[in-house]
Amino acid sequence: MSTVWTRKVLVLLALVAVFAALTACAAPTAAPAPPQIVKETVIVAGTPQVVEKVVTATPPPPTAPPPATATKPPATGPKALRINMGTWPDNLDPQKESFVNEIAITQLIYEGLTKVNQKGEVIPGAAEKWTTAADGKSMTFTLRAGLKRADGTPITAKDFEWAYKRLVDPRVQGEYNNLIDDVVGAVEARSMDTKTAKPADITAALDKVGVKATDDKTLVVTFKESVGYWPYIAYTWVGWPSDPKKVEKDPESWWTKAEGHNGNGPFKISKMEENKIITFVPNENYWGGKAKLDRIEMYWITDSAVSFEAYRKGELDIVGLAPEDLATVKADATLSQEFFEGPAAWVTYMGMNNSKPPFTDKNVRMAFAQAFDRVTYTRDILKNAAKPYLSWVPPGLMGYDTTGVQKGYDPKAAVQTLIDAGYAAADSTKDKPKVDCKRLGDIKLTYGGTPRNHARMQAIAGYFAATFNCPITLDPVDPTVFTGMVKKASTAPQLFLLGWIQDYPHPQNWLFIMMCDGLFANRIGYCNKDFDKALITANQEPDQAKAAEKYKAAQKIFLADYPGAMLYYNLNWYMIKPYVLGLKENYSPSDAGWPGQFGPVLTYDINLSKVGAGYPAK
């Protein structure tokens, strides 16, 4: 979920409206003063150049809101649910995607073998049932009878076999291709060198992957060891049956067009305009029946101030609420009744690229963790939309550990950490310790360049600059570009803020991404073989109480390495129009894309007698 709110996650998730902590807010007056002069990367004639400028430069103009199509509430009309999602997705290929805003889209148009509901329970999806072998080393999934794609063509177990094998095809390079490493032959296939391996060799390796359709309705998955949590894996997008015909016709960009998505979920895409709108309509061939909604419209307004204003005008039904707008909401009798707050399985951390100096040094990473004022930031900047947190697996989940934490805010200790690690200035003394900024090197904080994000990063840069008395470069980039940048260490920035939202409610989902070739480890260049071994041991433990302790032990290993600085766990804030029915009642902590995302979508409805100005008449 990638975080990922799934994600999943997720996050954005980079993650804009789905990662509100990254894209939604501006700094209040209580924020620390940032450096007066900073360097920023700009593009001149197609070439990146670094320039010095005052950080209070005017931000780029915001995206325009969707236009109102009616001035009076219609007596009758379409049941249209209009949601702002924020940043346009970087990828909508189920075998390649990873961010929460991506998964929230494809979740409507595809369905896995299983599903996860609003209670965090695994329930039947495309498979009506599944059984586990006595030794735990295989699972057999039985598909529902008569499954079809949106165009009416049948779906069989072969489609799911194709999807999972495509995931680990080394030529595809999906971000979550290690999610099924427990499957026989999966690691061997995805690890092949495409520069030296012959196509026939790759095909032979994929044939050995332990995912087999024994007939049209039966899929057997074989594992190297017992894997009790695999029904959760069977829910995830990595096995969603994208259409082989569409993919093979245009392998790299099939997903950019509405007609490319011939899925098996409750909805299908009827319209897709890049950076503007994606419209979903019910899939009449979905096994579960027809949705009550006539359509779902997702908009892509990156500036939360603009999306909030569109909501107030009746042009949107659901938006993520930025902390800066909370006072306005609470002061308004109508808006205050439409505000919704829910717990989020979502933790935000400061990513430090372990492959880029000075963050190749664990001591530098620890010092920056000590220099972040989490209490002030969550209270004054996020308006208590998050809680300071020094660990990773969030409260309420198996593996949550109050003893597994990183060091908290302590600016004097942060400076001393650098001094002890050899970053002392020539004139540094015991009474007046001073960091050698030249030796520390240039520090660049990269983020999705929305106006409110710009102000937030000024506050964060201010914490670091005030602690170390060294300049911090602010590096705003296009939000969609940012999403793509942080997906691998070779392009990931030196320093950036990112969140993880669980893909499924299990500690394995939080920890596997930090394995040597895990999703987040790949983004920050982190690897610790001892952590990998500890996590594998926890995954194979059948006793859940014992497994919880083993997950805690594994988590302590990676936290002690400071691959990133743990900052806070989040709350989800949404504005929901009162005529939207069913979403709040089916809210889940995993709902990072939109409230009700994991609930019974087919039952959601619009009370047309109560819609107001701005609601569409057709």
SS3 letters for 62-113? Answer: CCCCCCCCCCCCCCCCCCEEEEECCCCCCCCCCCCCCCHHHHHHHHHHCCCC
| Token pair 């982190």: residue | 526
Q: Please report the pLDDT score of residue 83 as a whole number.
A: 98
Q: Please report the pLDDT score of residue 228 as a whole number.
A: 78
CA atoms within 13 A on the CB side of 172: 28
DSSP letters, 401-425, are: -TT-------HHHHHHHHHHTT-B-
The alpha-carbon radius of gyration of the chain (Å, integer) is 24
Task: Tell me the average pLDDT across 88-107.
Answer: 93
* Alpha carbons 10 and 13: distance in angstroms, whole number: 4
Count the residues in the chain.
618
* Alpha carbons 307 and 315: distance in angstroms, whole number: 9
Helix (H) / strand (E) element for 364: namely helix 362-370
Strand partners of residue 13: 11
* Alpha carbons 346 and 11: distance in angstroms, whole number: 8
End-to-end CA distance of the chain: 34
* Alpha carbons 339 and 1: distance in angstroms, whole number: 25
**What one-character DSSP code corresponds to residue 35?**
P
* Alpha carbons 482 and 476: distance in angstroms, whole number: 9
3-state secondary structure of 156: coil
Each domain of the chain, given as residue ranges in start order, spans: 20-57+346-570, 114-241
* Alpha carbons 499 and 513: distance in angstroms, whole number: 12
- Listed range (13-17, 118-122, 499-503) with the worst mean pLDDT: 13-17
CB-count burial class (<10 Å; 0-12, 13-18, 19+) for 364 = buried
Q: Which of the four pLDDT bands, split at 50, 70 and 90, describes residue 51?
A: very low
CA 361 to chain centre: 27
| List of residues 6+ apart from 90 with CB closer than 8 A | 97, 99, 102, 480, 483, 484, 487
- CATH number for the domain whose boundaries are 20-57+346-570: 3.10.105.10
pLDDT at residue 514 is higher than 50 = yes
pLDDT at residue 282 is higher than 70 = yes
Lookup: tokens for 613: 């100005």
Is pTM, for the whole model, over 0.85?
A: no
- CATH number for the domain whose boundaries are 114-241: 3.90.76.10
pLDDT at residue 567 is higher than 80 = yes
Give percent of the chain with pLDDT exceeding 90.
Answer: 73
* Alpha carbons 5 and 8: distance in angstroms, whole number: 5
Query: In terms of Cα–Cα distance, which of 387, 368, 367, 369 is closest to 377?
Result: 387
* Alpha carbons 109 and 280: distance in angstroms, whole number: 8
Q: Please report the pLDDT score of residue 100 as a whole number.
A: 85
Q: Please report the pLDDT score of residue 56 as a whole number.
A: 37
- Listed range (24-38, 96-110, 458-472, 531-545) with the worst mean pLDDT: 24-38
Phi and psi, residue 606, nearest 5°: -125, 130
CB-count burial class (<10 Å; 0-12, 13-18, 19+) for 333 = exposed
* Alpha carbons 163 and 264: distance in angstroms, whole number: 13
Task: Tell me the average pLDDT across 478-507.
Answer: 89
Phi and psi, residue 122, nearest 5°: -85, 125
The amino acid that residue 315 corresponds to is: E
C-beta atoms surrounding 579 within 10 Å: 17
Q: Please report the pLDDT score of residue 545 as a whole number.
A: 86
* Alpha carbons 304 and 86: distance in angstroms, whole number: 8
Q: Please report the pLDDT score of residue 67 as a whole number.
A: 53
* Alpha carbons 509 and 512: distance in angstroms, whole number: 6
pLDDT at residue 289 is higher than 90 = yes
User: Do the two domains 20-57+346-570 and 114-241 of this chain adopt the same fold?
Assistant: no
| List of residues 6+ apart from 328 with CB closer than 8 A | 335
Q: Please report the pLDDT score of residue 188 as a whole number.
A: 97
What are 357-394's pLDDT values in tens digits? 999 999 999 999 999 999 999 999 998 989 999 999 98
Are 112 and 180 in contact by the 8 Å Cβ rule? The answer is: no
* Alpha carbons 130 and 138: distance in angstroms, whole number: 10
| Token pair 């995830």: residue | 236
